Amino acid sequence: MTSSEDDIQRSASAIIARAFDLDIDEQDAYQRIREQVLNRIIELLTRNPEKLMAILYRIDVPEPLVSSIFATSLPPDVPDQLADLVMERQLAKARTRAEHTRAARNESHGDTEELQA
């Protein structure tokens, strides 16, 4: 895995940890974080499903996908599928942020080069 992909996973993991109130170390492996998210989803489904839905909304997990999981999945599969959805969405958002940062950095370097010419 490249350093850039590591940075993206760390960024996504940090957002997930904040959203789900997880106590994670920055060095925690992506799979370990997914397991913690899964456990938290199971807990929230059992004790406070409204809070889970609010978290999913807040971290911008597409509601139609969440609804589809609840409508079509067997109950034991729901937490795993929601955890996958959370992880995938946060990785996609982190990649987009990285691309925009990289594009802005390249644009500012281009502006500097134009000024120097």
Q: What percent of the chain is predicted at pLDDT more than 90?
A: 51
Dump the DSSP string for 60-84.
Answer: T--HHHHHHHHHHS-GGGHHHHHHH
Number of structural domains in the chain: 1
How far, in Å, CA of 9 to CA of 90, rounded? 9
pTM for the structure as a whole: 0.77
Range of the domain at 78: 3-116
Return the pLDDT at 84: 96
Q: pLDDT for 80-102, tens place per residue? A: 999 999 999 999 998 998 888 88
